[in-house]
Amino acid sequence: MRSLVTGGAGFIGSHLIDRLVERGDDVVVLDNLSSGKEEFLAHHSQQVTHHHVDITDYESMSPYFKGVDVVFHFAANPDIRLGTQITDTDLRQGTLATYNVVESMRVHGVPTIMFASSSVVYGDNAPMPTPENHGPCMPISLYGASKSAGESLISSWVGTFGLQGYIFRFANIIGDRGTHGVIFDFIHKLKKNPTELEVLGDGRQEKSYMEVGDCVDGILHIMKTQNESLNLFNLGSHDTCSVRRIAEIVVEETGYTDAKIAYTGGSRGWAGDIPRAMLAIDKMNSAGFNVKFNSEEAVRHTARVLIQEIGLNN
Ligand code: NAD
């Protein structure tokens, strides 16, 4: 099997590649290393080929789709907050990039796509836990809008050109090789100032967390067992963890137990943040997949491995 992974040098993409190599795939990676790292792929030799390509440039990215059996599309701007300052990043790195991917697939006859979407497509005030058939989906961040647009492009390429699509709406994915997100930020803040941890919002924001190994196992399990033309699945754990609890866990795990946790106040971390989110995972469970870590276990595990990776003493 020849797999192409956009964003394969990133956090989730590189974990997926570990599994693809294990099952014997040849893997082509398109990644411009804007947030990914070559070292995440360094342990693979012949089976993985990385091309330093920007997928917003159709002419340079499209030829790599020739002879590919399946595309895993992860490349995107990972920073939801960026949209509060720069308003065309998600349009280019999300919506336009996804158009380039599905169009390259049509041109080169690639049959199947997996897309990394997000719980943020459901927008504010969705019922908790949120099922896949909740709608209308009205995202409140520019990142969310680009994920929603990506889903629509895939669904229209399925309907018009016979593509097969697997769309996954992820909860917050955390684990080793993480390069962004709340746990990563808290460790860096404590490293800089071990006496105080500033937390955006009132700490009552509450979301589901899924360990990255569970996430990539879930993707591959569902792609193996489900065979609709368009397959839509939430991927997450069955509970939530509050930001306040995450702050406490990170403080405990760093050993900086005298650190004062200071809240900036307000119910949202930033404009466009969704303070409470939990996905319904009945469909994922019915497909025969369950997670190994609940939210709090995933948070503690991630705090430990990221403290090792980041290091507190340099
Ligand atoms: P990441 O930043 O580690 O991975 C994204 C990768 O894409 C990086 O390696 C980056 O260098 C690459 N990339 C970005 N723009 C590119 C471009 N124009 N051309 C080529 N490569 C490009 O982030 P991640 O957390 O691994 O996220 C992977 C995907 O999953 C993203 O689409 C993200 O939106 C989605 N997602 C992540 C989470 C999460 O909690 N981490 C939740 C929901 C959805």
Domains in the chain: ranges and CATH: 2-173+210-235 (3.40.50.720), 175-208+239-277+294-310 (3.90.25.10)
pLDDT band at 272 (very low <50, low <70, confident <90, very high): confident
User: Sign of torsion, CA 138 143 145 147?
Assistant: negative
pLDDT band at 45 (very low <50, low <70, confident <90, very high): confident
What local confidence, expressed as pLDDT, does residue 268 receive? Answer: 83
Which pLDDT tens digit goes with each residue over 155-183? 999 999 999 999 999 999 999 999 999 99
Which pLDDT tens digit goes with each residue over 215-250? 999 999 999 999 999 999 999 999 999 999 999 999
- Determine the Cα–Cα distance for residues 50 and 96; give it in Å rounded to an integer: 22
User: 9 CB less than 6 Å from ligand 1?
Assistant: yes
- Determine the Cα–Cα distance for residues 304 and 278; give it in Å rounded to an integer: 24
Per-residue tokens: 1: 């099997």
Write the DSSP assignment of the chain as a string of letters: -EEEEETTTSHHHHHHHHHHHHTT-EEEEE---SS--GGGTTT--TTEEEE---TT-HHHHGGGGTT-SEEEE--S---GGGGGT-SSHHIIIIIIHHHHHHHHHHHHT--EEEEEEEGGGGBTT--SSBPTT--S-B--SHHHHHHHHHHHHHHHHHHHH--EEEEEEE-EEE-TT--SSHHHHHHHHHHH-TTEEEESS-S--EE-EEEHHHHHHHHHHHHHH---SEEEEEE--SS-EEHHHHHHHHHHHHT-TTPEEEE--SSSSSTT--SEE-B--HHHHHTT---SS-HHHHHHHHHHHHHHHH-S--
Crossing angle of helices 212-225/11-22, nearest 10°? 50
CA dihedral 235, 76, 183, 48 (to 10 degrees): 80
Atom of ligand 1 nearest to the CA of 73: 32
What local confidence, expressed as pLDDT, does residue 96 receive? Answer: 98
User: 8 CB less than 6 Å from ligand 1?
Assistant: no
**Which residues are paired to 4 by β-bridges?**
28, 71
Atom of ligand 1 nearest to the CA of 177: 3
User: 146 CB less than 6 Å from ligand 1?
Assistant: no
Whether the model clears a pTM of 0.95, i.e. scores above it, the answer is yes
What local confidence, expressed as pLDDT, does residue 313 receive? Answer: 74
User: 100 CB less than 6 Å from ligand 1?
Assistant: no
Atom of ligand 1 nearest to the CA of 12: 26
- Determine the Cα–Cα distance for residues 123 and 141; give it in Å rounded to an integer: 8
Per-residue tokens: 80: 């939801």
User: 114 CB less than 6 Å from ligand 1?
Assistant: no
164 CA distance to ligand 1 middle (Å): 22
User: 60 CB less than 6 Å from ligand 1?
Assistant: no
Q: Is the pLDDT of residue 314 over 80?
A: no
Q: Which of the listed residues 4, 5, 6, 11 should we mutate to test ligand 1's pocket, taking the one with most ligand atoms within 8 A of CB?
A: 11
User: 149 CB less than 6 Å from ligand 1?
Assistant: no
Cβ neighbour number for residue 207 with a 10 Å cutoff: 22
Q: Which of the listed residues 32, 37, 179, 233 should we mutate to test ligand 1's pocket, taking the one with most ligand atoms within 8 A of CB?
A: 32
195 CA distance to ligand 1 middle (Å): 32
Q: Is the pLDDT of residue 24 over 80?
A: yes
**Which residues are paired to 213 by β-bridges?**
none
User: 171 CB less than 6 Å from ligand 1?
Assistant: no
User: 40 CB less than 6 Å from ligand 1?
Assistant: no
